[in-house]
Amino acid sequence: MAETQRHPFLHGLSKHRGAPPTVVVIFGASGDLTARKLIPAVYNLGFDNLLPADFYLVGYGRKPIPDDEFRALASDAIKEFSRRELNADVWSRLARRTSYVAGGYDEKPAFDKLAAHIDELERQIGRDVQRLFYISTPPSVFTPILLNLGASGLAAKHLGLPHHSKVIIEKPFGKDLASARALNETIRSVFEEHQVYRIDHYLGKETVQDLLVQRFANAIFEPLWNRNFIDSVQITVAEEVGVEKRGGYYEQSGCLRDMIQNHTMQLVALTAMEPPVSLDAESIRDEKVKLLKAIQPLALGPGGDVARAQYAAGMMGGKAAKGYLEEEGIAPQSATETFAAIRLSINNWRWQGVPFYLRSGKRMARRVSEIAINFKCPPGTLFAGSGRFDIAANTLSFQIQPDEGLSLILNTKVPGLDTRTQPVKMNFRYATTFGSNTPEAYERLVLDAMIGDGTLFIRGDEALASWQLYTPVLESWAAAGREGMDAYAAGSWGPATGDALLAKNGHVWRQP
């Protein structure tokens, strides 16, 4: 009882998911991601009794903020963005262990001050704590933060012990192959690979995690998961929003860097990888890397494997929407794509001849992220002609957002005295089966990093394999400028050039 009173987070702690004593340091503590995702994630882990007994949260940023003011900002973020309302008891326990350190990202003395602050926390509780550094800043300061973590000794603290230091790095992980390699070299000069957690929040979503369960825990799927039965795979990551007030950032990024190279390729890897020998992190990530390396180089130019476009003026929700070139902060002759479509060919035994189609864009018809497995059509000899038979290909689709779940399209007989067929959809939704208040992706990922589970994080060679595929595309587009840039109306499903990628093989985009 005394132990529970001393460590208020200890009560109800899952032993299986238990983390050692931890201090989480968030670089960029006054940023939007911290308020919207990271602070609420930590709070909800505390609500669920999944924080370690000795847990501390430290914000770090350039702006001087008193501890009490930072706690107030954190409380406001929880009230506005958490999936749960603010619970006074849970927050009071967390608030007592929340503090702030001000300093520049390129100032070694400020990192020494941070190290001394954490050392003092260790002295207060009389035990070592692991240091988990979350870099939630613009990529321009990734390198100075990493180098100063090394120079101050924070990166190597307790290395080899259960309480060693770790670092979580937000995307974008480089802007092309060369910059990603340079960032990896910087990381390796300071941290060992097992200390590094390159985050992609899509991997924390329930449906993405469920991919491996559906594939490998259901005997009806695995025998069919190959070129003999699957006709094509489509992955759509569509957004309704435009660039809004992020025009300056998006001009330097574009759809390929922002969505395709990271989020969408992670979905490809989990959908197409071979069964791992076990569920440990390295076995799964080994198979993902093998899959990425099996993807053939993309054919560029007219009739190739890629298409790009910008949204033009259109209608969104019954209201007029501006085109990309009319948005704030966008150059009049911008060649930045807001839509990209890709046709991938995987050169291995399982997927030879099965096209994987990817598309992502802003200002599309609706917000949806989906993986659709399209099976081959049955022979038409039995159900052909007379107009009484509507036979569709069986499709298994994983809805990643907004309504997490999966659906299966089957053909069935329409009730009546006449024999007629019709495709029907069988649905499973997490919200209706398990309740709607499921954990956010960042909750799972922060917890996994604390306990040292790298399964849902990206390894260095994995990031490089993806950049190796897409860097030639980016270079080709940069050289072409606006030549070959298509357009699509806001509120539509994309441009004609995106449709043409599928038409070459007799396919059409599925409308989620």
Q: Which amino acid is present at 33?
A: L
**Domain-located, residue 180:** no
DSSP 283-312: HHHHHHHHHHHTBPPPP-STTSSEEEEEEE
Query: Taking 80 as the threshold, does the pLDDT of residue 17 lie above it?
Result: no
Q: Are 154 and 114 in contact (CB under 8 A)?
A: yes
73 and 115 in a common domain? yes
Of 28-37, 160-169, 267-276, 282-291, the range with the lowest mean pLDDT is: 160-169
Say what the pLDDT of residue 423 is: 83
Just list the catalytic residues: 263
Say what the pLDDT of residue 387 is: 63
Helix 177-188 vs helix 142-151: crossing angle, to nearest 10: 10
Say what the pLDDT of residue 13 is: 38
- Domain with residue 218: its CATH number is 3.30.360.10
Instruction: Report the 3 state secondary structure along 166-216.
Output: EEEECCCCCCCHHHHHHHHHHHHCCCCHHHEEECCHHHHCHHHHHHHHHHH
Say what the pLDDT of residue 507 is: 95
Handedness of CA 322, 328, 333, 337 (dihedral sign): negative
**Domain-located, residue 472:** no
293 and 224 in a common domain? yes
Please tell me the distance from the alpha carbon of residue 50 to that of residue 53, in angstroms, as a whole number. 9
**Domain-located, residue 458:** no
Say what the pLDDT of residue 9 is: 44
Say what the pLDDT of residue 436 is: 65
207 and 132 in a common domain? no
What percent of the chain is modeled with pLDDT above 90? 74
Helix 281-293 vs helix 265-272: crossing angle, to nearest 10: 100
236 and 158 in a common domain? no
Average pLDDT rounded to a whole number, residues 213-224 = 91
Instruction: Give tens-digit pLDDT for 379-433.
Output: 766 666 666 666 788 999 999 988 888 999 998 888 887 777 888 899 998 888 8
241 and 362 in a common domain? yes
**Domain-located, residue 70:** yes
In the chain the first and final C-alpha atoms are separated, in Å, by: 53
Buried b (16+ CB within 10 A) or exposed e, 254-274: bbbbbbbbbbbbbbbbbbbbe
Secondary structure element (H or E) that encloses residue 320, with its range: strand 319-321
Q: Are 295 and 322 in contact (CB under 8 A)?
A: no
Buried b (16+ CB within 10 A) or exposed e, 76-90: ebbeebbeeeeeeeb
Domain boundary among 170, 191, 226: 170
Please tell me the distance from the alpha carbon of residue 233 to that of residue 344, in angstroms, as a whole number. 10
Say what the pLDDT of residue 2 is: 39
Tally: H helices and E strands in the chain: 16, 17
Please tell me the distance from the alpha carbon of residue 313 to that of residue 318, in angstroms, as a whole number. 13
Query: Taking 70 as the threshold, does the pLDDT of residue 306 lie above it?
Result: yes
258 and 302 in a common domain? yes
Please tell me the distance from the alpha carbon of residue 21 to that of residue 14, in angstroms, as a whole number. 14
148: containing domain: 2-170
**Domain-located, residue 93:** yes
Domain boundary among 125, 150, 170: 170
Residue 271's pLDDT band (cuts 50, 70, 90): very high
Average pLDDT rounded to a whole number, residues 118-126 = 94
Distances (CA, A) of 188 to 70, 194, 196, 327, 496: 33, 10, 9, 40, 44
Domain boundary among 148, 170, 192: 170
Those residues with Cβ within 8 angstroms of residue 108's Cβ, 6 or more apart along the chain or in another chain: 148, 151, 152
Q: Are 95 and 71 in contact (CB under 8 A)?
A: yes
**Domain-located, residue 494:** yes
- Domain with residue 84: its CATH number is 3.40.50.720
298 and 247 in a common domain? yes
220 and 303 in a common domain? yes
293 and 152 in a common domain? no
Q: Mean pLDDT of all residues in the chain?
A: 91
DSSP 5-68: HHSTT-TT--STT---SEEEEEETTTSHHIIIIIHHHHHHHHHTT-S-SSEEEEEEESS---HH
Secondary structure element (H or E) that encloses residue 396, with its range: strand 395-401
122 and 13 in a common domain? yes
349 and 407 in a common domain? yes
Buried b (16+ CB within 10 A) or exposed e, 302-333: eeebbbbbbbbbbebeeeebbbbbebeebeee
Q: Which of 202 and 323 is assigned the larger pLDDT?
A: 323
Distances (CA, A) of 13 to 19, 91, 97, 115: 9, 17, 18, 28
Average pLDDT rounded to a whole number, residues 105-132 = 95
209 and 166 in a common domain? no
Please tell me the distance from the alpha carbon of residue 340 to that of residue 263, in angstroms, as a whole number. 13
Average pLDDT rounded to a whole number, residues 480-508 = 95
Q: Which of 354 and 172 is assigned the larger pLDDT?
A: 354
Say what the pLDDT of residue 93 is: 94
Query: Taking 70 as the threshold, does the pLDDT of residue 6 lie above it?
Result: no
Q: Which residue is associated with the tokens 């989620």?
A: 512
Query: Taking 70 as the threshold, does the pLDDT of residue 11 lie above it?
Result: no
- Residue (of 447, 437, 442) closest to 85 by Cα position: 437
**Domain-located, residue 469:** no
**Domain-located, residue 496:** yes
Please tell me the distance from the alpha carbon of residue 189 to that of residue 399, in angstroms, as a whole number. 40
Say what the pLDDT of residue 270 is: 95
Please tell me the distance from the alpha carbon of residue 329 to that of residue 244, in angstroms, as a whole number. 10
Q: Are 355 and 507 in contact (CB under 8 A)?
A: yes
Please tell me the distance from the alpha carbon of residue 477 to that of residue 486, in angstroms, as a whole number. 12
Say what the pLDDT of residue 246 is: 80
Q: Are 155 and 166 in contact (CB under 8 A)?
A: no
Q: Are 132 and 450 in contact (CB under 8 A)?
A: yes
User: What is the tally of structural domains in the chain?
Assistant: 2
